[in-house]
Structure 1
Amino acid sequence: MALVKPDENVNYQEEFITNSHGLKLFTCKWVPKRDEPKALIFICHGYAMECSITMSSTAIRFVKEGYAVYGIDYQGHGKSSGLHGYIEDFDSIVHDCSVHFSSICENEENKGKMRFLVGESMGGAVALLLHKKMPDYWHGAVLVAPMCKVRVCSCA
């Protein structure tokens, strides 16, 4: 898989954080180098994927349009700790994302900025649950082939 070439207008950074269960979680961000971001975008990756490579081209495109983009590898995914691909409790993933994303939003430089979620596949389910958890907090969500169940009801 080819990596996206670094862009002179994009500042990319990586960091590990520790969740409430003591697991190290990989996080990354792409922000404009010169301009203040007009809004914040939080990416939720799919099953057995990770944010730093598979979501990089999407993140760079958003940054070129003036947005700051943040990602986190779920426990057991990408560069984060945990048994690879194993999800013991889906709510833990949503909780980790919620804590990390809201902490970014509460940083002084980000207060008052609009907040959007982007979720692909299983990340679409994560984004939906994040939005459901705090519907007034998020300004919108983009779901790309979301993993979700549609219940069909026959009404008499």
Structure 2
Amino acid sequence: MSSVLPKAKLFPQKDLAELAFRDLKKRQMAVYNVICYADQMRLQTASELLRATDDIESQVEKVSSPLLILHGAGDKVTDPSVSKFLYEKASSKDKTLKLYEGGYHCILEGESDEKIFMALDDIVSWLDSQCKNTHSFGLESKFI
């Protein structure tokens, strides 16, 4: 269908804010996000997303760069098992998986400030450890 009607908007639009944002005030503010696409997904877009997902999944073992994966354990938009799959299958020797108990999809925006700062602290700590590891080997930054 996507090749015949690529711009057709046949998928029902579902408001995911309730599933993505635990904090009610932050959920209410989400509607003001100017980069959030608020229309129904087009068939061709859905088809390309599925194709890209299949391609990524088939090559995930090629991921060899240092890897930090953060995921809310209570995420109902993207199943945490996807992050576990990436962690298990990636060939990187330096990989970290952080699952935030009860965290929803938007762990850096939709949680309590305390949980957001916890995730940000984890990111900063991981980056700091990467800088120390790179420096101790006398290597220039190899990050993209």
Fold agreement, TM-score > 0.5: no
Q: Which has the larger radius of gyration?
A: 2
Higher-RCO chain (CA-CA 8 Å, sequence separation at least 6): 2
Larger fraction in strand: 1
